[in-house]
Amino acid sequence: MLKATIDSDKIKRWIKVLTTIDAMVDEACFYISNSEFIFRDLDNTRINMINVTFQQEYFDVYEYSGDSPTFVCVQSDKLLKYSKALSKADELTIEVAEGKFIISSSKPYMKKFILPAYYDEERELPRVPDIDYSVYVRLVTPTLRDILKESKDVSETITLYALNNEIQFISKSEEGFQSIHKLKYPDNVELLDISVDNESTSVYTVKPIYDIVKEITTISGVVTLQFSSEYPLTLKFDMLEYETYQFITAPRSEE
């Protein structure tokens, strides 16, 4: 049904993406068609969504023989573990056929891992929220990672506040501990761009965001944040051509 290959430079990227998927779901269901390979799903809390797309052109080889697009589902932790075993390969091949999800490499010697899989013909891709955001921020990804890491040591939530050419990341604990990270454009070079249509503030759970950013920082140097008051936060990472990665998280109701 499917045969696709990626080169050694993209294997690391594949593993990082799988790491974030495994942190969010126990079972990874991929949407495969003749033009794209997609993971888009919510976690068990229905609060967080990962949306990843690999276009056909991303792969060195991409052959799909199905009559129509379908979902193939596998155990996410095993897929990650076996992919890591191929991390030093020159090339990684993905094959889907006859209820099996196979990953393999031929160099420096042949390795093949076969995972039981099933096809979910009734499944549909979750809808990506279509929101006219008030705030648009482009930020160096390692800077966001560091801000989130330090913020989660203070509180389980983080408040994003934007006004004019400035964004603040604020964490407060019930015991009175607090952290504030403020970036102003163009004074701070880490803040590449900012557009604020309306003063906005919104609260999110910090750990899921940090867990994503921590991994994707190693394969993406710039991230775009979009949010509005009491609306979801969307992170769009700069990726390679024909590759997209988006993370969406719902706001917390309390401040």
Question: Could you please report the per-residue DSSP string of 114-158?
Answer: EEE-EE-TT--PPPPP----SEEEEEEHHHHHHHHHHHHTT-SEE
Half-sphere exposure of 38 (CA within 13 A, CB side): 18
Residues 11, 107 contacting (CB under 8 angstroms): no
pLDDT at 107: 84
Residues 235, 139 contacting (CB under 8 angstroms): no
Q: What is the mean pLDDT of residues 61-66?
A: 96
Question: What are the distances in angstroms from CA 112 to CA 17, 37, 92, 98, 101?
Answer: 20, 21, 10, 16, 11
Q: Quick check: helix, strand or coil at residue 75?
A: strand
254 vs 237, more confident: 237
pLDDT at 108: 83
Instruction: List the end-to-end C-alpha distance of the chain, in Å, as a whole number.
Output: 49
Q: What percent of the chain has a predicted confidence (pLDDT) above 70?
A: 99
Question: What are the distances in angstroms from CA 85 to CA 7, 44, 132, 185, 226?
Answer: 15, 28, 42, 43, 36
Q: Where are the domains of the chain?
A: 2-119, 135-249
Residue 126 has pLDDT above 80, yes or no: yes
**What pLDDT digit, counting tens, does each position of 156-165 carry?**
999 999 999 9
Q: What is the mean pLDDT of residues 48-53?
A: 99
128: confidence class by pLDDT, cuts 50, 70, 90: very high
**What pLDDT digit, counting tens, does each position of 213-250 carry?**
999 999 999 999 999 999 999 999 999 999 999 999 99
Describe the chain by its helix, strand, coil percentages, rounded to 5.
20, 45, 35
pLDDT at 254: 62
pLDDT at 24: 96
Rounded Cα gap, residues 41 and 37, in angstroms: 13
Q: What is the mean pLDDT of residues 196-218?
A: 98
Q: What is the mean pLDDT of residues 186-208?
A: 98
CATH number, domain 2-119: 3.10.150.10
For helices 8-24 and 206-216, give the axis angle rounded to 10 degrees: 170
Q: What is the mean pLDDT of residues 62-88?
A: 97
Residue 104 has pLDDT above 90, yes or no: yes
CATH number, domain 135-249: 3.70.10.10
Residue 35 has pLDDT above 90, yes or no: yes
User: Strand 48-55 relative to strand 243-249: parallel, antiparallel, unpaired?
Assistant: antiparallel
Question: Could you please report the per-residue DSSP string of 54-73?
Answer: EEGGGSSEEEE--SS-EEEE
Mean predicted lDDT score pLDDT of the chain:
97
Residue 255 has pLDDT above 60, yes or no: no
Please state the separation of Cα 143 from the chain's center in Å.
Answer: 17
